[in-house]
Amino acid sequence: METTAASSASPPPSFASRLEAAMGKKRSCLVVGLDPVLERLPGEVHARLGGWEPKGGGGAAVNTARASLGLALFSNEVIKAVAPYAVAVKPNTAFFERFGAAGWDALQQVCRQAKKEGLLVILDAKRGDLESTAVAYAEALLGDLIDTPGPAVDALTINPYFGLDGVRPFMEAAQPRGKGLFVLVRTSNPSAAEFQDLDAGGEPFYLRVARAVARWAQESREASGWSPVGAVVGGTAPEPARRLRELLPSSFFLVPGYGAQGAPAAALRLFFLPGGRGAVVNASRSVIFAHEKSPGLPWTEAVAQAAKSARDELEAMRVTR
């Protein structure tokens, strides 16, 4: 399927360049993860929805259209609240997919809304499959079809388990469109070590993945010095940061684990290149559900304050790198 974006003569500015520009302009490396859980939305959003669960409970009968509207209402307000402080939002597909087609519609609207508010959109889908299937995922999530999230998505997270032929279709979809990828290298969850830290020929498995990412980044390196191929490197395991930074000088890091997952800002310094370049840090629940800890504030104000204080804390660390 030929697409206008992919076939235009001069490629658009690359994702990494746009991300770096946003970091300079907003003095921020904060990404806000949009992981909306219906049951945790503020009372005000539930009130505007007019209810989404039928009387008597029973999850099977949840109205997916109303539930999805709730996710969109909430996410759009979060986007407005964090736009001055964050460089990007990172919607996670799972929370939208939960409500089927209606959820996918909401996801697409949320991506567009973020773009409208001047935020970059990193779609956290962690897809990975063999070649012919990866082509379909790349079209779905980085492509140009209206009525899909693709047109409003700037970068996508992917899973490397299938090796290069599962990754290449994403590279081929991303680069001509000036979009980016973040390949899962070392994740931030407690059991990440189970497979990712296994000894593989004298070094942990995730380093072998990182070496492959380094090759893919090298072959797709742009004039700016950046590659569209970045890496997800969890902030909860700071030890490997120095090593990974050396291996991947052309790759942006997406660092989850700050905030609700527990990594302090100071521990994240080594994820950045000198000058505080080349990494963005994600906070999800600590920002989007900030209303739970600040019951006295209007909820969007609680979210804005949480985003501002995360931005400030991270920035104080970043400028000393």
Among 42, 128, 180, 235, binds a copy of itself (CB under 8 A): 128
CB of 25 vs a copy of itself, minimal distance in Å: 29
Tell me if residue 25 is catalytic: no
Which CB sits closer to a copy of itself, 105 or 315?
105
Binding to a copy of itself, residues 263-302 (CB under 8 A): 285
Mutual orientation of helices 299-318 and 64-82 as an angle, nearest 10°? 50
Residue 259 interacting with a copy of itself (CB under 8 A): no
SS3 at position 272 = coil
Q: What is the DSSP letter of 148?
A: S
Among 50, 201, 275, 296, binds a copy of itself (CB under 8 A): 201
Q: Give the interface size with a copy of itself as a residue count (CB under 8 A).
A: 79
Q: 192-219 burial, b if ≥16 CB within 10 A, otherwise e?
A: beeebbeeeeeebbbbbbbebbbebbee
Which CB sits closer to a copy of itself, 101 or 316?
101
SS3 at position 5 = helix
Residue 108 interacting with a copy of itself (CB under 8 A): yes
- What's the Cα-to-Cα distance from 3 to each of 112, 146, 151, 189, rounded to whole Å? 19, 11, 11, 38
Among 58, 274, 275, 296, binds a copy of itself (CB under 8 A): 58
Which CB sits closer to a copy of itself, 85 or 99?
99
CB of 37 vs a copy of itself, minimal distance in Å: 7
CA 268, CA 286: separation in Å to the nearest integer?
Answer: 17
Q: What is the DSSP letter of 92?
A: B
Residue 9 interacting with a copy of itself (CB under 8 A): no
Active-site residue, from 25, 26, 80, 126: 126
Taking a C-beta distance cutoff of 8 angstroms, is the pair 78, 41 a contact?
no
Which CB sits closer to a copy of itself, 23 or 173?
173
Among 191, 223, 274, 275, binds a copy of itself (CB under 8 A): 191
